[in-house]
Amino acid sequence: FFWYSERGNEIDFIYNHEGTLIPVGVKYQNRINKSDYLGMKRVFGRGILITQDAIFRDENIVAIPAWLFFAVFEGNE
């Protein structure tokens, strides 16, 4: 799944967590600006942002490094 708005906001894929759809964006960079996830926050109100190293939470937006994101799923196939 891929979603792209007229304003240039995008969602890279959707995670289905127990019937709740959670938007996921990938910004594989060290420096994350609020503009990198503002569209996700405005349109969906929540989501996960996969980063290179940044970890933070802004209300219902959670940013985690890619290595941690994939470590959670490793072995849970």
Q: What is the pLDDT of residues 3-51, one digit of tens each?
A: 666 777 788 888 888 998 899 999 999 899 998 898 899 888 999 999 9
Report the pLDDT value the prediction gives residue 64, as an integer from 0 to 100.
96
pTM given for the model: 0.81
Rounded Cα distance between 73 and 49, Å, is 16
> Which residue from 22, 29, 24, 20 is spatially nearest to 69, judged by alpha carbons?
24
Residue with tokens 């219902």: 60
Measured at the alpha carbon of residue 32, what is the angle toward residues 31 and 37, in degrees to the nearest 5?
165
> Which residue from 74, 71, 67 is spatially nearest to 28, judged by alpha carbons?
67
Both tokens of 28, joined, read 């594989």
Report the pLDDT value the prediction gives residue 45, as an integer from 0 to 100.
92
